[in-house]
Homo-oligomer: A and B are copies of this chain.
Amino acid sequence: MQDFVFQNSTKLIFGKDKEQFVGKEAVAYGRKLLLHYGGGSIKSSGLYDRVKESLKDQGIEVFELGGVKPNPRVSLVREGVALCKEHDISFILAVGGGSVIDSAKAIAAGVHYEGDVWDFFDGKAEVTDCLPIGVVLTIPAAGSESSSGTVITNEEGWYKRSAMHPSMRPQFAILNPVLTYTLPAYQTACGITDMMAHILERYFTNEKNVELTDRLCEGALKTIINHAHTVLEEPTNYDARAEIMWAGTIAHNDMLGTGRIGDWASHDIEHEISGIYDIAHGAGLAIVFPAWMKHVYKHDINRFAQFANRVWDVEIDLNNLEKTALAGIRKTEEFFSSIGMPITLKEANIGDEHFSEMAKKGTERGPLGNFVPLDETNVLEIFNLAR
């Protein structure tokens, strides 16, 4: 087991109607707040009004910045930074999913920085301090509600890059499974894929003595798999929505990754695709992850066989562990397909025209991943496996 430091202070408030407490939670961080959100869904659902009401009840002055898109853009982040500086805003409330939260985090980091906020994402500067952030979560997927990271897209060159710092962990996050009832099936499935990918990135490690975190990962994966079809078939099933929502947070709160070095190449490769094609992150991961698995499984057949057995209930064939390992990869692929995800680039209408460019851009800062470090040629092969 690797040495580690684990600390995650985010206060998670889980259950029905909990968004009514957002004002009470937010007021502890001052009375000038930026309400950050995406499109119109929070307005049509009535959530927007309920949140505003709760903030108003606490005498909080609300500034607004909507319009966050999936794969959130640095241009809007810059707008948010300017707004916060101009009005001396003390707190950012993100109401939405991972894109809105990531955008809020980038704004929060930019406010305490003199230069351009993109500096944090292309490695020119490091985040040291942030405005405090709160979250009302509407999409269980990214785990950003208690994570320390953010992913932002720069429209100039379509770069999609991440930044991390403990100060970016939200102070609180309100998780009401009922708010996810109206999520369309496709978005629900993208979220399921994303949270599974967060666990898989941690699971495939070269660290040998990590049974506890292996088993926590396997348990979380099994739970997600067992409830995925239920939330798709019965979108208002509270218990299933609750399991999925809580699993999305657990998947990415760093507990499951303690003592091990995760891989993260699939995320990086997916960022190249969704940086160019504006495909949903989850859908991109459903395509990339099985291809990545096929490319790397021989590096540690035992681990892939364990994955097949413990997560997918594939019986271990001691005379042919490779068969066991491959069955697990096939099950993963079939599962993503069964919940409506594309599992090839073709299904997502993505051709091979940018393969070389994406492989080059993705590896220009060095090899990707830790389980097996991947160079440009390897990444190109993964694109070919994902055709």
Contacts and interface: CB of A to CB of B under 8 A. Distances in A.
Interface of A: 1-16, 18, 208-209, 211-212, 215-216, 218-220, 222-223, 226-227, 239-240, 242-243, 246-247, 250, 255, 258-259
Of A11, A208, A216, A222, chain B has the most CB atoms within 10 Å of the CB of A216
Given A6-B12, A7-B10, A209-B242, 5 more contacts: A1-B242, A3-B18, A209-B240, A215-B219, A216-B220
B209 A246 contact: no
Contacts of A227: 211
A5 B247 CA distance: 15
A212 B245 CA distance: 10
A132 to B, nearest CB: 14
B5 A11 contact: yes
A18 to B, nearest CB: 7
A14 B209 contact: no
A5 to B, nearest CB: 5
A4 B15 contact: yes
Contacts of A8: 8-9
A6 to B, nearest CB: 5
A218 B216 CA distance: 9
A12 B9 CA distance: 12
Contact of A215 (B7, B9, B223, B240): B223
Nearest to A210: B243
Contacts of A215: 218-220, 222-223
Contacts of A15: 2-4
B258 A246 contact: yes
Contacts of A246: 1, 212, 258-259
A6 B18 CA distance: 13
B12 A7 contact: yes
Nearest to A226: B211
A264 to B, nearest CB: 21
A251 to B, nearest CB: 10
B5 A13 contact: yes
Given A211-B226, A239-B1, A242-B1, A259 B14 contact: yes
A226 B310 CA distance: 15
A151 to B, nearest CB: 25
Contacts of A242: 1, 209, 259
A219 B209 contact: no
A220 B212 contact: yes
